[in-house]
Amino acid sequence: MEPRMPRPQRGFTLLEVLVALVIVGTALGASLRAVGSLTQNSSALRAAMMATWSAENRLAQIRLAREFPPLTKRSFPCPQDELQLTCEEEILATPNPRFRRVEVSVVDTLQPERRIIKLAQIVYNENGP
């Protein structure tokens, strides 16, 4: 009778399993970071859209009232949804006295140093200087 050769064992070695776990862990970490980044971008875009609406609302009010605003600078709350926003309006003179430059900046009330958007428009005085 011939001596039998032991059959090679099937399966993975511990090293192969550890390498596979490191690869899977790295891929999961990268995907979680990407999802977090997308969430941050989404909230920033939403805040920018809401701030644009606030600024456009104020500029539309001036147009619809057909007012020729005096040279001033003021701030007023302009919240949108749950965002606490503050609009900063500045009326500036132009070289032509029949025109005014209206600038509306929107800032986050909780972070006043963070200006989200700034819009400008020229207002015409139909009644003369």
Q: Tell me whether residue 6 is in a domain.
A: no
- Per-residue pLDDT at 128: 59
- Per-residue pLDDT at 2: 67
Average confidence (pLDDT) over 56-67? 88
Q: Tell me whether residue 10 is in a domain.
A: no
Q: Tell me whether residue 9 is in a domain.
A: no
Domain count, the chain: 1
Min mean pLDDT across 48-62, 66-80, 97-111, 113-127 is at 113-127
Q: Report yes or no: 98 and 129 within 8 Å, Cβ to Cβ.
A: yes
HSE of 17 in the Cβ direction (CA atoms, 13 Å)?
Answer: 4
Q: Tell me whether residue 81 is in a domain.
A: yes
Min mean pLDDT across 85-89, 92-96, 108-112 is at 108-112
Q: Please indicate whether residue 87 or residue 115 has the higher confidence score (pLDDT).
A: 87
Name the band, by pLDDT with cuts 50, 70 and 90, for residue 129: low
Average confidence (pLDDT) over 83-99? 91
What is the residue range of 87's domain? 15-124
CATH of the domain at 57: 3.30.1300.30
- Per-residue pLDDT at 88: 92
Q: pTM value?
A: 0.66
pLDDT at 36 over 90: no
